[in-house]
Each structure stands twice: as C-alpha cells, then as structure tokens.
Amino acid sequence: MEIKKIVVGALEENCYVLIKNKTCLIVDPGADYNKIKEQIGNNKVLGVLITHSHFDHIGALRNFLTKRSVKIFKKSNLQEQEYIIGDFKFRCIYTPGHSKDSVTFYFEEEKVMFVGDFIFNDSIGRTDLPGGNAKEMENSLNKIKQYDGEIIIYPGHDESSTLKDEFNKNPFFK
C-alpha cells in the first residue's frame, strides 16, 4: 500500500491518500480538496475514513459526499471490527479521549495505524476541548499498548512515529 501525506488547511492537518491497485482510500480530508484530488490522480476513490469530526479533519469531506460510490467511514457507522473495502483491509479501534468520536484505523498487513489526534509524536491530543475526556484518553492509551511496537502511527498533525517509540519516550505512556 502506498501512503501519500498531504498537509492541508490553516492548522496543517495531515490528510492521507492510501493507494492499492488503482484504488484509494482517503483519511481525514481536512481542507484543500484540489491538493487532495491531485494526489488521488487516476485512482478510484472507494471510501473516506474519518478519525474524528473536528473541523480541521473534515473540511473537504463535502467534496466526497456528492460521489455516490464513495463510502464514508466514521464512528457513527462503524463497529470495532475488521472491514474490507476493495483490496483494503483494516480494523476500527475506538480511541476516545481527544473527542468522543475518535477512532483509529489499523491496517494489520501493512503494520500501520491512522490515529488522528489521539497520539502524536511525543504527545497526545488535547482533552480539554468539547467532547474531550482525560479518563477516556487514559483508557484509550492503555488499550493501544496491546499492539505491536513496530506499528507505524500516522497522526493528524506533524510527523509519523512507531508505537515502540511512543511507548518509550512519550510521557503520556508512562
């Protein structure tokens, strides 16, 4: 799976285009639809994955809603289970704390997670915004500890990391 990161919007949110066999999934289309569309190229969009519904992660979502063949995946229509869309296979993991609707998308075969604003490189998402909850964040951090440290995490802002690095140096995992 090819992963393209596009930094979009005033808050420099990471949107990801996941490509496999001339099809793609979009993760968190925050803004700048034309920049996203350019990275999609001639690949067919099968779905849009939303890690949480803060404005900086969904600003360009409306551009995908008009396409009937594109499915939108967000907490309100997801269970904690495995999903297969075309050649993509991922698991939805509920990870509230930053927001009530925060989810992580885990692609086990590729050993990658798209975590939105749940975990950052050396930090975590804020819990003081409406819908945030420090206790839920603590529970979500404990839940994610069961996963392999070699998994690469792709956050909603800044640079990627591995779970192992976060377990070892992120003060919120202590």
For the chain, give every domain's residue range. Answer: 2-173
Q: How far is CA 63 from CA 19, 43, 70, 82, 83, in A?
A: 19, 16, 11, 26, 23
Task: Supply the DSSP symbol for 145.
Answer: T
Mean pLDDT throughout 91-115? 98
Cα separation, 117 vs 107, in Å, equals 18
pTM of this prediction?
0.97
Residue 20 has phi, psi (to 5 degrees) of: -150, 125
Q: Kindly report, residue by residue over 4-26, the tens digit of the pLDDT.
A: 999 999 999 999 999 999 999 99
Tokens of 134: 């420090």
pLDDT value for 69 = 79
Q: Kindly report, residue by residue over 37-67, the tens digit of the pLDDT.
A: 999 999 999 999 999 999 999 999 999 988 7
Is the model's pLDDT at 132 over the cut of 90?
yes
pLDDT category at 68 given cuts 50, 70, 90 is confident
Contact between 173 and 167 under an 8 Å Cβ cutoff? The reply is: yes
pLDDT value for 62 = 93
Mean pLDDT throughout 147-170? 97
Query: What does the CA dihedral 51, 102, 89, 34 come to, rounded to 10 degrees?
Result: 0
pLDDT value for 174 = 80
Is the model's pLDDT at 119 over the cut of 90?
yes
Q: Where are the beta strands (DSSP E) in the chain?
A: 2-8, 13-20, 23-27, 44-49, 71-73, 82-85, 88-94, 103-107, 112-116, 119-120, 123-124, 152-155, 161-162
pLDDT value for 115 = 98
Residue 2: count other Cβ atoms within 10 Å of its Cβ.
9
Phi-psi label, residue 133: left if phi above 0, alpha if psi -120 to 50, beta otherwise: beta
Contact between 118 and 98 under an 8 Å Cβ cutoff? The reply is: yes
CATH superfamily of 2-173: Ribonuclease Z/Hydroxyacylglutathione hydrolase-like (3.60.15.10)
Contact between 113 and 154 under an 8 Å Cβ cutoff? The reply is: yes
